[in-house]
Amino acid sequence: ERGVFFSLNVTCVDDLCRKIVKSKYGVIRIPKLELELEQPRGYLTAVEGILQETHDNITERMREALPQMAENEDVRTQVTQIQGFLMKLQELIDIETSFVVELDDPSGNSLSL
């Protein structure tokens, strides 16, 4: 079997609607954010869904850390860094800048539609 690699240049709302079928072996990368998503499950979603789910998951984890902020300077610094990352992620969701989404699957079972 051969692996597959897809690279999608996202420049408009239509690109956010592009579907991605990711097998459990696939890895999604967004180089502009230095983001790599390796989830041990397969799924079908749109590019926008990947971005929004990532944003929501990080936001939720950050909320869980907020009670510790008052007690820990390191946590405050991390939260500030995460907030900056979330702002960059939101810029991609809003198509304020173009970016590339990569799908790499050594099993060959992923697909970009």
> For residues 54 and 83, what is the distance between their CA atoms, to the nearest angstrom?
13
Question: What's the pLDDT tens digit per position in 33-78?
Answer: 999 998 888 999 999 999 999 999 999 988 887 777 667 777 778 8
Half-sphere exposure of 80 (CA within 13 A, CB side): 7
Half-sphere exposure of 47 (CA within 13 A, CB side): 28
The pTM of the full predicted model, rounded to 2 decimals, is: 0.86
Give me the residues paired with residue 43 across strands.
Answer: 22
Joined together, the tokens standing for residue 37 give 């998503």
Three-class secondary structure of residue 28 per DSSP: strand
